[in-house]
Amino acid sequence: MTSTDMKRIKIFDTTLRDGEQSPGAAMTHEEKLRIAELLDEMGVDVIEAGFPISSPGDFKAVSEITKIVKRASVCGLARAGFKDIDRAGEALKGARQPRIHTFISTSPVHMKHKLNMGENAVLEAVGASVTRARNWTSDVQWSAEDATRTVPDFLCRCVEVAIHSGATTINIPDTVGYSTPQEYFEIVTMLRNRVPNADKVIFSTHCHNDLGLAVANSLAGVLAGAGQVECTINGIGERAGNAALEEIVMSLKVRKDIMPFATGINTTLLSKASKLVSNVTGFPVQYNKAIVGKNAFSHESGIHQDGMLKNVETYEIMRPEDVGVNATSLMLGKLSGRHAFRDKLENMGYALEDAAFEDAFRRFKDLADKKKHVFDEDISALVDDGFMRGQETIKVKSVRVETGTGIKPQATLILSVDGEDRHVATGGDGPVDAVFRAIHEAFPHTATLQLFQINAVTEGTDAQATVSVRLEENGRTVTGKASDTDTLVAAAYAYVNALNKLLVKREKQAPEALTVAR
Ligand code: KIV
Ligand code: ZN
């Protein structure tokens, strides 16, 4: 069967909305734009760029993402209240293909405890919200929050009202990750069979991973006739996350023999997208993660290696190149020039403007002075760090640490805060403690340290260290990340990266439960 004979499934990416809601996953504006650009290049059909009413930052992100995407539809989330919908409509003004995604809870537990609304009031809100959204755009998606714990008859009535009011996509969230593949299949089948005009809309899956079933449930939805899958890169999202985009796309690609569905995704960009999202959020990808984990294509046991040498199909169901993992990586060193460096960046899929290229090249040369071989992983860390250290409010200008046996560690730091240099020198219980105390003195804050983690980017004692720092302030957590051959320097950058993210997150209000304010 060729891909033209197969049903086309839309990929709706919500990394920038549901993904960004993960505890600790705040993204700066520039980071959101970079992710949106890559999703667009990768062939994602719809990018859910944010929740415009939740903060000025989300509004700005949705609005600017509409200007940079070339192919995808851009979507903004809104509760059922008119203020939310109008804010989303405003943010999407100027988009070539704007989509408003409006939702309300439909399960008994949510209606009673979260909304304090009865069935009739919810039905009325469904009709009013979809009608309001249709005044802004013809592309309206409606979601029944907690659909999988909703009474089936009531779910059918809600979907009927949404379709009647003009919704073009009907999304069936498994909001709390409670469903199973068989059950989810039956819910989508029921809606398609029972609701009048169900054949006029696209059904969509949105599955959370609390029981580890998000991808299986989404695929069951597709088999039941859903034409859109909502997912996120690396499966990030509320609590245990959402269905992972890379797993959905590769499952459909590898098992097209039993799932004859095609997506528009260029799968060779999956690995790059995974690394970008991991760097931006500071969430490491587990080594054994399907498709994009470090070990996803490694064969350790002798029997497997022997089989692989005889024929790769013995143990490999897809090729690393299919997901953008290079089989061999050409190393660079201190004699490599601009030309080789630019070639390498292009092969790795980075297109840097002149100033960013010069900055990356300078830092590559510094790194090559300290490290004999510079691997692809080093270059990714270096380029991604460069983006993160761009236009931040707080910057590390210099850091020096004196430490050793028999002396109290002492950190000397220059921190630039909104362009003003602050000089401090402080002691600590250990060298990392001294660095963090110095930052605290230069930029007093109430955030507390939740996690400090060091990973080597490559092998060897000259490897760069990637440091992750998680901070918590008033129930909000963020993770900062940075790499350097000097672990203490990386620690300083990572801490400051987390502080900058906290500043972004401070302006974001926690969206309260729905109000149907008109
Ligand atoms: O999980 C959920 O129910 C959601 C909705 C807003 C679609 O994210
Ligand atoms: Zn969700």
Q: Taking the CB of residue 4, how many other CB atoms lie within 10 A of it?
A: 7
- The atom of ligand 1 lying closest to the CA of 171 is 7
The ligand with the least distance to the CA atom of 237 is 2
CB 242 within 8 A of CB 206: yes
- The atom of ligand 1 lying closest to the CA of 143 is 7
Tell me the C-alpha to C-alpha distance, in Å, between residue 114 and each of 21, 52, 107, 472: 19, 21, 10, 26
Is the shortest distance between the CB of 48 and ligand 1 below 6 Å?
Answer: no
pLDDT of 271 higher than 90: yes
Is the shortest distance between the CB of 143 and ligand 1 below 6 Å?
Answer: yes
Percentage of residues of the chain with pLDDT beyond 70: 92
CA of 158 to the centre of ligand 2 (A): 19
- The atom of ligand 1 lying closest to the CA of 14 is 8
**pTM given for the model:** 0.82
Tell me what pLDDT residue 512 has. 45
Give me the phi and psi of 296, to 5 degrees please: -60, -25
Average pLDDT over all residues of the chain: 90
CA of 110 to the centre of ligand 1 (A): 13
CA of 249 to the centre of ligand 2 (A): 19
| Segment holding 451, helix H or strand E | strand 448-456
Rounded Cα distance between 411 and 490, Å, is 14
Is the shortest distance between the CB of 173 and ligand 1 below 6 Å?
Answer: yes
CA of 116 to the centre of ligand 2 (A): 21
For the record, the structure tokens of 400 come out as 């020096």
End-to-end CA distance of the chain: 51
Q: What is the rounded average pLDDT of the residues 269-275?
A: 93
Window from 269-278, 391-400, 473-482 with minimum mean pLDDT:
473-482
Q: Which residue minimizes the CA distance to atom 1 of ligand 1?
A: 175
Helices 119-134/152-165 angle, 10° precision: 30
Best of 143, 217, 514 for a ligand 1 pocket test (most atoms within 8 Å of beta carbon): 143
pLDDT of 393 higher than 70: yes
The ligand with the least distance to the CA atom of 231 is 2
Is the shortest distance between the CB of 206 and ligand 1 below 6 Å?
Answer: yes
pLDDT of 516 higher than 60: no
Q: Which residue minimizes the CA distance to atom 8 of ligand 1?
A: 18
Best of 110, 204, 206 for a ligand 1 pocket test (most atoms within 8 Å of beta carbon): 206
- pLDDT per residue over 407-424, tens digit each? 999 999 999 999 999 999
Rounded Cα distance between 399 and 429, Å, is 17
Residues 6+ apart with CB under 8 A from 168: 138, 139, 140, 141, 201, 202
Is the shortest distance between the CB of 101 and ligand 1 below 6 Å?
Answer: no
Identify which of 41, 44, 51 has the alpha carbon closest to the alpha carbon of residue 21. 51
Tell me the C-alpha to C-alpha distance, in Å, between residue 322 and each of 38, 84, 265, 272, 291: 17, 41, 11, 12, 10
**Residue 472, beta-bridge partner list:** 448, 477
pLDDT of 474 higher than 50: yes
Tell me what pLDDT residue 45 has. 98
CB 165 within 8 A of CB 127: yes
Rounded Cα distance between 363 and 359, Å, is 6
For the record, the structure tokens of 3 come out as 């891909």
pLDDT of 3 higher than 80: no
pLDDT of 391 higher than 90: no
Best of 13, 53, 103, 141 for a ligand 1 pocket test (most atoms within 8 Å of beta carbon): 103
Confidence of residue 2 (pLDDT cuts 50, 70, 90): low
Tell me the C-alpha to C-alpha distance, in Å, between residue 307 and each of 59, 118, 315, 326, 425: 53, 62, 7, 21, 58
Rounded Cα distance between 172 and 85, Å, is 20
Confidence of residue 518 (pLDDT cuts 50, 70, 90): very low
Helix (H, G, I), strand (E, B) or coil at 422: strand
- The atom of ligand 1 lying closest to the CA of 173 is 3
Best of 109, 145, 170, 179 for a ligand 1 pocket test (most atoms within 8 Å of beta carbon): 145
- pLDDT per residue over 312-328, tens digit each? 777 779 999 999 987 55
CA of 261 to the centre of ligand 2 (A): 24
H-type alpha helices, 423-486: 431-442
CB 351 within 8 A of CB 343: no
